[in-house]
Structure 1
């Protein structure tokens, strides 16, 4: 039985390597690429019933130099089966709305088309956050932070609520989604029981509180003394505004369409966004703890 098993394994190896290295392969000089296996249609696009072979190409500063895109395209066209490359970049000082970025992409696409390689470009508003901020300063993403503090019967209490800077796969070496400013939203007092907050004791005291200090990374709120009244806890609600478009921003689609239209003169194979949504919050228990939420006026509306 053991000998029969080994014999079958041997035959499988022979079949496997015969498929990879067929007889006469040494004399086969023509590169078997995607174009020879699946010819492109007359209109220049890949047939709908044939999925493209996609390679992700992330540009660095070197690709923005004169002819800086040629080497990679040459290598991809000669030594790979990729027939569609996606271009994305996370380079400090380079925005998708910059005219020099547009012009360099156009040259790269024209060159790639000559080599039989199609290009899809990442046209994402997160690669132009400063431009979006300048146009729509009131449509940036916010985060909501809750801080519970015990009240004092006789003296005011200061509550400190700190914010954070965020970043993700879209920031690279660009400016992260920094916190731009913090603002007090609401302060509520309440009485807590073994079952939780007593709903009947809930009271807003925002107008009775004082913002002692407010910056991009912290907000200090002074709460009045409770004077012996039943509510002995307060929840301070603070928002931080981040340098990234609000997911629900009213002008986000218009801003994105403008970007897409600005590249309509380039024969791209398509456009894309990479994992769109709220920026991440690490560690994740900040969200699950119930103290940190995504927020904006447009999201709340």
Structure 2
């Protein structure tokens, strides 16, 4: 496990596939206490998940999986609404981890605001009067290559908003995608819920075209929980009608999740075009302000 304190004042905790950027605002003693709590909760967290990995990679069925750990249970809970399609609790792992660490921090000390960013899946804490501006990217690939690439826009989350979780998914993300979205950013009441929904919406951003190439997930990663399900590996040039059709499919999925109160809003990006769904996502700001990443 590597830990550090970057010059920006943000705490960095990393082990295996988990990479957390943490920031807390409050009195100096409270911030120190919260950071200590984050370190303590993070220690052994990966081992905790690996112990239940067999069930976490197993597709959900008619009954909830018999997982025991609090993070594993949170993952299963966030994935449960999507059990009508192929889904495993791993769909919410990044968001659930962010939630767990943030929860430990908030319980340990009074903080004005705080966030835990786990590779783009963010858990938020806001006290009355506080807000946070979250950067929205148009392409996971561009952000991953540039590292410091400027966000396309910002979404302001105020303390009165129900949004406490934000997640981004897409075909160039850390996980495989069934869809062709460059990026799908979801705003929800929890980070685990946002994580699961972002994946589901990103999977729905798709269309039929010879420019889209897919391969079974197992061929790319023998340990993938997706098995032989085809995932997108390449997207060539698409006609305008195909782009609009794919974004429209994603919009339908997002609107259905808003109707079910599973998310508050979503921003979809494909080949430079955007779709904004839900009031929470329409509060995008001009570039400027603070990012949780």
**What TM-score, normalized to structure 1?**
0.24
**Larger relative contact order (CA 8 Å, sep ≥ 6):** 1
